[in-house]
């Protein structure tokens, strides 16, 4: 770190891969802490996150401070060479706060209070909550800022609350005044002429509250922006306090993947380390792809190495049915995260709880204890990570394809009055990423206003609302030689969610060779649209082409003979969601035309390959052994053996090959 620069993940890893997890020793007697340390060291754990939910322990009554146990734990960790990611405890206020200050409790859109007794029952807009949060943060930073165990700050936990109450209403009005300056501008942006919604005073504006029928889309969209911004304010307030005490210590707050309530592009700019919590379902046949998507997105937000803050060593406890990870899967998915740029592999939580709401959620040490399979696998993984760390930590990944994603477009497109409730943005995004993943193409994510020129191919699964600047960026990208592939419902609205004339921005229509977009034809659950060579799902469109260079047409039905896919120059438009193999093949062909190759040729199904720096990760997500062609001579860092041209991987096995 040089003067003026912010510290980053490298300042915490110092060449190692961080390994560990949330540690909640307040749930255990002190003897257990010593047992924990023994097991941690044996498993190669070098990092724990302390304090995430310890507010009522640290501040048992208003203004009191009980730092004794934390002092002991910080010292204990340091004495054993384990670094501490120290969390501010502000995600779960103590019961006294809600009791003495009901204004700190959030209110739902139908006017119900969220009470203490669970967690995350705080109003982001509450001045009282913010005051208490700042005070405990200040005291933690003052007390532990100089402690040698401290490696990183972890602010709050998975910021995810909403508030529709009165204090939030006042904050919403302030936020709107800042954005629009005049009521006329707000009325114009929200289209309040429709349904007699014109506001004559700022005081009349509320957060969305239980309506009789559909809500105003502009109001809902701005409320989502406001919520993300208010939570960000809570984060930056605490971050600035810890930074003042410890400018050299990096700061993070853990994201939930693809979380609807938080513009993570914007948030990532305010973090020194981007971290995420990732829990794919072990039973999901596409669990590994879900993991890859989140990992690609987090790496892109971090613009480099990132931190896997939480995963589960076994089952979670919040699905309908919660399955354990079969033997080998925890190692496989952890190494997948490292392959895709993680420099830290951590879990919720170290020791499985015996009490509390998450006692059936797995931990690194399960109820079965030291001899249990979970801990034994955790121990093996610790040794693996130590073995590969020198060759991978800090290394970057080069992607040939960027997938564009934007929360504001998602928020706008999610309005209840849309044409098909079957079109869920995350599903569409996943379908496109899946196609690229199955084609073995390495992908980054990007925001539509980012510099796209490093990528030969850019795909837009669906960006319903686009700013003028985004459209300019896409047009310039194609002009400069980039290949652009856009999916349906892209470029429909502007940033106020005002439909653009013609149902799609005119410049985009011209780019794709579309004269008129006559109608959208959403498809029912079991319905498909036959096209030349494949079937479309979910959606179809009645398009009159202008002058495309190439089309793939709908066959039969109302749209018979009309273009389903259009290409003009290097710009493609796909007006339906092709079935998975068809989308994979289409994107693979387009990428190949743009000079983007898969990581390895001829990879079997279920095998994933990723190049990180010099190192090639090969992961078998299948339950059967596979043979993979890996031309040349390599050294497998995990097994310490030479590999020439070909490799056999058993079920869930991984090779980490150095040339």
Kindly list the residues in this chain that would bind ligand GLA in the complex (CB under 6 A): 157-158, 277, 279, 310, 316, 348, 358, 361
Which residues fall within 8 angstroms of residue 542, CB to CB, at 6 or more apart? 517, 518, 519, 520, 521, 558, 559, 562
Q: Which is nearer to ligand GLA, 348 or 572 (CB)?
A: 348
Burial of 375 (0-12, 13-18, 19+ CB in 10 A): buried
Q: Annotated active-site positions, please?
A: 158, 310
CB of 72 to ligand GLA, least distance (A): 23
CB of 309 to ligand GLA, least distance (A): 8
CB of 612 to ligand GLA, least distance (A): 25
Tokens of 227: 């919520």
Q: Rounded to an integer, what distance in angstroms lies between the CA atom of residue 406 and that of residue 395?
A: 26
- For 77, the 3-state DSSP assignment is helix
CB of 121 to ligand GLA, least distance (A): 14
Q: Print burial letters for 273-300: b (CB count within 10 Å at least 16), e (below 16).
A: bbbbbbbbebeeebbbbbbbbbbbbbbb
Total residues found in the chain within this entry? 659
Q: Which is nearer to ligand GLA, 21 or 461 (CB)?
A: 21
CB of 277 to ligand GLA, least distance (A): 4
CB of 363 to ligand GLA, least distance (A): 10
Q: Which is nearer to ligand GLA, 358 or 579 (CB)?
A: 358
Q: Print burial letters for 407-437: b (CB count within 10 Å at least 16), e (below 16).
A: bbbbbbbbbeebeeeebebeebbbbbbbbbb
Q: Which is nearer to ligand GLA, 156 or 438 (CB)?
A: 156
Q: Rounded to an integer, what distance in angstroms lies between the CA atom of residue 599 and that of residue 610?
A: 7
Q: Rounded to an integer, what distance in angstroms lies between the CA atom of residue 161 and that of residue 495?
A: 24
Q: Rounded to an integer, what distance in angstroms lies between the CA atom of residue 366 and that of residue 350?
A: 9
Calculate the alpha carbon distances from 256 to 170, 262, 496 in Å: 28, 9, 26
CB of 54 to ligand GLA, least distance (A): 12
Which residues fall within 8 angstroms of residue 551, CB to CB, at 6 or more apart? 545, 563, 564, 565, 566, 567
Q: Rounded to an integer, what distance in angstroms lies between the CA atom of residue 366 and that of residue 374?
A: 6
Which residues fall within 8 angstroms of residue 384, CB to CB, at 6 or more apart? 331, 335, 638
Q: Rounded to an integer, what distance in angstroms lies between the CA atom of residue 202 and that of residue 172?
A: 10
Q: Which is nearer to ligand GLA, 183 or 297 (CB)?
A: 297
Q: Print burial letters for 593-612: b (CB count within 10 Å at least 16), e (below 16).
A: ebebebbbeebeebbbbbbb
Q: Which is nearer to ligand GLA, 14 or 359 (CB)?
A: 359
- For 276, the 3-state DSSP assignment is strand
Q: Which is nearer to ligand GLA, 133 or 619 (CB)?
A: 133
Map tokens 């501040």 to a residue: 59
Q: Which is nearer to ligand GLA, 348 or 411 (CB)?
A: 348
Q: Which is nearer to ligand GLA, 352 or 540 (CB)?
A: 352
Of all residues in the shown chain, the one whose CB is closest to ligand GLA is 277
Q: Which is nearer to ligand GLA, 319 or 589 (CB)?
A: 319
CB of 157 to ligand GLA, least distance (A): 5
Calculate the alpha carbon distances from 12 to 238, 251, 375 in Å: 20, 10, 25
Q: Which is nearer to ligand GLA, 257 or 548 (CB)?
A: 257
CB of 95 to ligand GLA, least distance (A): 18
CB of 228 to ligand GLA, least distance (A): 18
Q: Rounded to an integer, what distance in angstroms lies between the CA atom of residue 455 and that of residue 400?
A: 5
Backbone angles phi, psi at 336, to 5 degrees: -60, -40
CB of 352 to ligand GLA, least distance (A): 11
Q: Rounded to an integer, what distance in angstroms lies between the CA atom of residue 354 and that of residue 166?
A: 39
Check: CB of residue 377 under 8 Å from CB of residue 335: no
Q: Rounded to an integer, what distance in angstroms lies between the CA atom of residue 432 and that of residue 405?
A: 11
């Amino acid at each position: 770190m040089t003067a003026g620069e912010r510290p980053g993940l490298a300042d915490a890893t110092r060449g190692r891969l961080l390994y560990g997890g949330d540690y909640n020793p307040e749930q255990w007697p002190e003897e257990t802490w010593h047992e924990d340390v023994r097991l941690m060291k044996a498993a190669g754990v070098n990092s724990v996150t302390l304090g995430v939910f310890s507010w009522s322990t640290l501040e048992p009554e208003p203004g009191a401070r009980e730092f004794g146990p934390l002092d002991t734990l910080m010292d204990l960790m340091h004495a054993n060479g384990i670094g501490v990611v120290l969390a501010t405890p502000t995600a779960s206020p103590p019961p006294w706060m809600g009791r003495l200050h009901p204004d700190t409790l959030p209110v739902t859109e139908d006017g119900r209070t969220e009470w203490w007794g669970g967690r995350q029952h705080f109003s982001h807009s509450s001045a009282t909550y913010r005051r208490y949060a700042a005070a405990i943060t200040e005291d933690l930073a003052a007390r532990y800022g100089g402690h040698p165990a401290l490696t990183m700050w972890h602010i709050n936990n998975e910021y995810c609350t909403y508030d529709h109450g009165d204090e939030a209403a006042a904050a919403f009005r302030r936020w709107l005044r800042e954005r629009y300056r005049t009521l006329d501008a707000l009325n114009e942006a929200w289209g309040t002429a429709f349904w007699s919604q014109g506001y004559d005073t700022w005081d009349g504006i509320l957060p969305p509250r239980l309506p009789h029928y559909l809500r105003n889309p502009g109001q809902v969209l701005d409320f989502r922006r406001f919520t993300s911004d208010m939570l960000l304010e809570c984060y930056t307030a605490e971050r600035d306090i810890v930074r003042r005490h410890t400018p050299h210590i990096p700061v993070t707050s853990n994201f939930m993947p693809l979380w609807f309530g938080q513009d993570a592009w914007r948030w990532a700019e305010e973090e020194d380390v981007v971290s995420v919590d990732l829990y794919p379902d072990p039973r999901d046949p596409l669990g590994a792809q879900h993991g890859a998507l989140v990992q690609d997105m987090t790496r892109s937000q971090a613009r480099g190495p990132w931190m896997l803050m939480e995963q589960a060593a076994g089952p979670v406890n919040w699905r309908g049915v919660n399955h354990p990870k079969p033997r080998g899967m925890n190692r496989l998915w952890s190494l997948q995260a490292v392959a895709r740029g993680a420099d830290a592999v951590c879990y919720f939580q170290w020791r499985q709880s015996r009490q509390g709401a998450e006692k059936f959620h797995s931990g690194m040490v399960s109820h079965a204890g030291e001899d249990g399979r979970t801990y034994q696998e955790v121990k093996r993984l610790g040794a693996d990570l130590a073995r590969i760390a020198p060759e991978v930590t800090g290394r970057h990944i080069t992607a040939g394809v960027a997938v564009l994603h934007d929360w504001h477009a998602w928020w706008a497109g999610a309005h209840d009055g849309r044409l098909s409730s079957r079109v869920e943005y995350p599903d569409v995004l996943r379908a496109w990423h899946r196609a690229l993943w199955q084609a073995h193409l390495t992908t980054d994510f990007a925001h539509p206003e980012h510099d796209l020129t490093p990528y030969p191919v850019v795909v837009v699964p669906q960006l319903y609302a686009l700013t003028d600047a985004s459209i300019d960026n896409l047009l310039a990208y194609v002009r400069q030689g980039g290949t652009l592939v856009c999916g349906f419902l892209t470029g429909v609205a502007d940033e106020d969610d005002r439909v653009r004339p013609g149902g799609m921005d005119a410049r985009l229509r011209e780019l794709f060779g579309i004269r008129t977009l006559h109608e959208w034809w959403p498809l029912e659950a079991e319905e498909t649209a036959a096209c030349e060579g494949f079937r479309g799902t979910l959606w179809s469109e009645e398009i009159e082409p202008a002058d495309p260079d190439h089309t793939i047409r709908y066959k039969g039905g109302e749209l018979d003979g009309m273009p389903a896919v259009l290409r003009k120059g290097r710009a493609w438009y796909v007006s339906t969601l092709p079935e998975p193999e068809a989308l994979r093949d289409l994107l693979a062909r387009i990428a190949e035309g743009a000079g983007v190759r898969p990581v390895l040729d001829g990879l079997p199904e279920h095998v994933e390959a990723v190049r990180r720096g010099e190192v090639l990760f090969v992961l078998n997500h299948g339950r059967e052994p596979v043979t993979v062609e890996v031309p040349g001579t390599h050294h497998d860092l995990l097994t310490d053996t030479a590999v020439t041209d070909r490799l056999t991987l058993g079920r869930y096995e991984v090779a980490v090959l150095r040339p």
